[in-house]
Amino acid sequence: MSNVIEELDRKRGRYIKIYIMSLAVFLLAWIPHVILKSTGSISVTADRVLIAIFAATIPFQAYSSLSLAAIARKIRIDPALKSALYNELYQVHDMKAWKTGFNSMAICLLVFSILSLFLRFDVIPVAVTAYLIGFGGYQISFYYLDRE
Amino acid sequence: MGENVLKNRIKVQRAIHDWTQEELARRVGVTRKTINTIENGVYVPSTFLALKIAKAFGTTVEDVFQLAEE
């Protein structure tokens, strides 16, 4: 059982790392795309390149998210795994990470609010960006708190 | 007046019992990472977890955890 716990803990960390890295690349292409699109100054080539970059990260994000969900399900159905892997240190890190995620989302929305004084944004890309930055903030914060 | 910090003797107790961090984690029901962060003073455990650690060593909480002035 002890080996299973440590293995799942390691796997969880590894998939979070894959998710964070793919999300970072996604956002590096997504945010300039949203801003350039709203200014109307994006060329056809830049549009295609940025879309290709952020689309290429989607399989990695999906793979890591589904793997994390599978691990979470495995942990939830086993009381021994649940008590070991959702222990109090995990809960403290989870709570701090939620706070960071919320603050990241709030800062993102503040930046877009200021930018909207000069640019015209569509609501959906801004909402998606805020959500992704909030969720990404949670994952990055949890990863750094939970690593040794 | 100096600030109080929580010191622990987990490493000493582990050496007495010849346990690895993983063995202690298994007996307490947490991950090795949790034991490691407590042992290194990075994380201050709850009373419940401190009691479980002391119980695993067959000793009192005061013998494992002490308040010290920094």
Range A117-130 average pLDDT? 91
Report the residue of B20, B24, B31 to disrupt the A interface, i.e. the one with the largest count of A CBs within 10 Å.
Answer: B31
Q: Is the pLDDT of residue B69 over 90?
A: no
User: pLDDT grade, residue A45 (50/70/90)?
Assistant: very high
Range A128-146 average pLDDT? 94
Q: Which domains does chain B have, with CATH numbers?
A: 4-69 (1.10.260.40)
User: How close A85 comes to chain B (CA, Å)?
Assistant: 6
Q: In this predicted structure, what is the pLDDT of residue B44?
A: 93
Q: Is the pLDDT of residue A39 over 90?
A: no
User: How close B36 comes to chain A (CA, Å)?
Assistant: 8
Read off φ and ψ for residue B29, nearest 5 degrees: 85, 40
Report the residue of A2, A75, A93, A147 to disrupt the B interface, i.e. the one with the largest count of B CBs within 10 Å.
Answer: A2
Q: In this predicted structure, what is the pLDDT of residue B1?
A: 62
Q: ipTM of the predicted structure?
A: 0.79
Average pLDDT, chain A: 93
Q: Is the pLDDT of residue A2 over 80?
A: no
| Tokens at A111, concatenated | 């930046």
Range B10-39 average pLDDT? 95
| Tokens at A25, concatenated | 């690349």
How far is the CA of A145 from the CAs of A5, A54, A79, B10, in angstroms?
A: 19, 27, 24, 22
Query: Model pTM?
Result: 0.84
Q: A90 to chain B: nearest residue by CA?
A: B34
Q: Where are the domains of chain A?
A: 2-146
Range B18-47 average pLDDT? 94
**Chain A contacts of B26, Cβ < 8 Å?**
1-2, 5
CB contact under 8 A, A80 and B29: yes
Q: In terms of Cα–Cα distance, which of A43, A14, A20 is closest to A132?
A: A20
Integer Cα distance of A17 and A12 in angstroms: 9
pLDDT in tens, A74-121: 999 999 899 899 999 999 999 999 999 999 999 999 999 999 998 888
Compute the radius of gyration of chain A from its Cα atoms: 18
Q: Does A9 touch chain B (CB under 8 A)?
A: yes
